[in-house]
Structure 1
Amino acid sequence: MSTAVHHLNCATMAPALAAGGRVTPVRMVAHCLLVEAPDRLVLVDTGFGTADLASPRKRMGLGFVSAMRPALDPAETAVSQVRGLGHDPADVTDIVLTHLDLDHAGGLGDFPAARVHVYADELAAARARRTLNEKGRYVPAQWAHGPRWTTHAAAGEEWLGFAAVTALADDVLLVPLHGHTRGHCGVAVRRPSGGWFLHAGDSYFFHDEVRTPPACPSGLRIFQSLMQMDGKARVANQERLRHLHADHGPGSGAAEVVTVFSAHDATEYDALAGGTD
Structure 2
Amino acid sequence: MRIHHLNCGSLRKIPLLDEELTAAAPDRELAAVCHCLLIETDSDGLVLVDTGLGTADLRHPERSLGADWVAYAQPVLDPEESALRQVARLGHAPQDVRHIVLTHLHRDHTGGLPDFPHARVHVHPDEYRAVTDPAAAHHRHSLDHFMPAHRAHDPLLTPAHVDADVRSEWFGFPGVARPQGLECELLLVPLPGHSAGHAGVAVRDDEGRWLLHGGDAYMYHGELEHTPALSHPVLDPVQQGAQTDAAARLGTRDRLRDRADAVTVISAHDPWEFARLTAPRG
TM-score, normalization by structure 1: 0.87
- 2:88 aligned with 1:83, yes or no? yes
Aligned to 1:47: 52
What amino acid is the match of 2:32? M
Aligned to 1:28: 32
CA positional deviation for 1:136: 4.3
Give distance in 2, aligned partners of 1:126 and 1:63.
22
Aligned to 2:121: 116
CA contact (8 A) 1:7 1:32 kept: yes
Deviations 1:90-129 (A, max 9, x none): 0111000000100000101111111100123213334557
Give distance in 1, aligned partners of 2:279 and 2:4.
8
CA positional deviation for 1:130: 4.5
Change (3 A) 1:43 1:215: same
SS of residue in 2 equivalent to 1:112: coil
Write out aligned runs for 1:242-257 (5 A): 242-245=257-260, 247-248=261-262
SS of residue in 1 equivalent to 2:178: strand
- 2:270 aligned with 1:265, yes or no? yes
SS of residue in 2 equivalent to 1:94: strand
Write out aligned runs for 1:1-277 (5 A): 2=1, 4-14=2-12, 18=14, 26-39=30-43, 40-127=45-132, 130-131=139-140, 134=142, 136-152=144-160, 154=162, 156-163=167-174, 164-167=176-179, 168-213=182-227, 214-245=229-260, 247-248=261-262, 258-273=263-278
CA contact (8 A) 1:7 1:275 kept: no
CA contact (8 A) 2:123 2:157 kept: yes
Give distance in 2, aligned partners of 1:91 and 1:275.
26
SS of residue in 2 equivalent to 1:42: strand
- Which sits farther off after the overlay, 196-205 or 170-179? 170-179
What amino acid is the match of 2:156? R
Give distance in 1, aligned partners of 2:226 and 2:127.
30
CA contact (8 A) 2:41 2:184 kept: no
Structure 2, unmatched stretches of 5+, are 19-28
Give distance in 1, aligned partners of 2:178 and 2:269.
25
> Among the aligned pairs, what percent are the same residue?
44
CA contact (8 A) 2:52 2:83 kept: yes
Give distance in 1, aligned partners of 2:53 and 2:131.
17
CA positional deviation for 1:208: 0.9
Structure 1, unmatched stretches of 5+, are 249-257
Give distance in 1, aligned partners of 2:226 and 2:16.
21
Question: How many residues were matched structurally?
Answer: 260
Deviations 1:196-240 (A, max 9, x none): 110000000000111241101223223322221011211110011
Q: Relative contact order (alpha carbons < 8 A, sep ≥ 6): 1 or 2 greater? A: 1
What amino acid is the match of 1:142? H
Change (3 A) 1:111 1:210: same
CA positional deviation for 1:64: 0.8
CA contact (8 A) 2:104 2:199 kept: yes
CA contact (8 A) 1:200 1:262 kept: yes
- Which sits farther off after the overlay, 178-187 or 140-149? 140-149
CA positional deviation for 1:165: 1.9
Deviations 1:150-206 (A, max 9, x none): 212546522222222222335211000011000100000111321111000000000
TM-score, normalization by structure 2: 0.85
